[in-house]
Chain A
Amino acid sequence: MLTSFVRTGILLIIVIFAVRIMGKRQIGQLQPAELVVTILLSEIAATPMQDNDIPMLNTVVAILVLVSIEIFLSALSMKSIRIRSLLQGNSLILIRNGVIDQAQIKRLRFTLDDLLEALRQKDVFNVSDVQYAIAETDGTLSVMLKPEKRSVSIEDMDIVKEDTGLPCVVVMDGNIIRSDFKDCGMTEEKLRKIIKNTGHDIFDIYLMTVDKAGNTNTVIKERKHD
């Protein structure tokens, strides 16, 4: 039993490390090759966790080979369009100017229900509102609405809005986070001044964000009630 405990711990660390090495793309948008590798990884690691009879070295070798081949394949597909389309497939246009391309739907073995459901998930309830609907290689549907159906943007209304940038987390749970200082033009001296102005001690601050324009948002820690 103790062996299983140790083996599981080691394998878990190896698998987490392997998935991290393969890159963030793994988690969000799985391409066919990545999906296969991810399923295989979990399967390969799970069996020796339960079965102590299987040498762990066999599993480690299999994981190393899988991860390295996956990285090589993704590097190859970055270099060559042909390999990319072979490994990942191509995105296909399913709706053009409100007209469903039935041949493509059949080719993808999509049902009309699948298509309508994917459109509804994009807040589109009428096929005729769609200018283009594209089936992406990771199985998701991208939708571009007809110009008259799109939401009005700030640009459309000729409004000039200041770019405040991304709010940076500068204090988290009473600790100063210096890693984003550069992105929001912050210095420690400036931050301490802002904190002083809030009338709180730094240890009382649960979260503080600052954007490029200097707008701050402060969340104070809740006191425990006995």
Chain B
Amino acid sequence: MTKRLVIAAVFLSLALFISISSYVYLEITSEKIFSAIDELSEDIYEENAANELISIWDKNKKIYGVFLKHADADMLDRQFIVLEKSILEGDSYTALLTLRELNAYLHITLEGEMLKIENIF
């Protein structure tokens, strides 16, 4: 039984580690993304303005796919592609619209992952 208890303790620690690390990871990266979105909202008309935001997303999108529902991660990825394309084409109206949509979608998606009473129940 002692051996089993040790395995159970390892399992529980592993589960706790995965849960907490995904929570912390999403919290930290989403902070970075949100601040990059805020900056971009002010300089959306500048060339290469979205570089920082896009590079943050490119670095983290695979891990987002591991932690989030794949449909949500794909949706976010699609929004980033539209944003990048519209900035490249100089279509600042679509870029701003996409940025706002992206901001809202990211907020909703991450809200669902946070440890909150409303999410638990």
Contact = CB atoms under 8 A, between A and B. Distances in A.
Interface of A: 21, 23, 52-55, 57, 60-61, 64-65, 67-69, 71-72, 75, 78
A15 B18 CA distance: 18
Interface stretch (B27-35, B50-58, B67-75, B102-110): B67-75
Contact of A53 (B14, B66, B71): B71
B: contact size bracket = 20 to 34
B70 A53 contact: yes
Nearest to B68: A55
Contact of A68 (B12, B65, B67, B69): B12
Contacts of A23: 4
Contacts of A72: 5, 8, 12
B19 interface: yes
Contact of A75 (B5, B14, B22): B5
B7 interface: yes
Contacts of B12: 64-65, 68-69, 72
B9 interface: yes
Contact of B9 (A55, A61, A68): A68
B93 interface: no
B18 A67 contact: no
B50 to A, nearest CB: 27
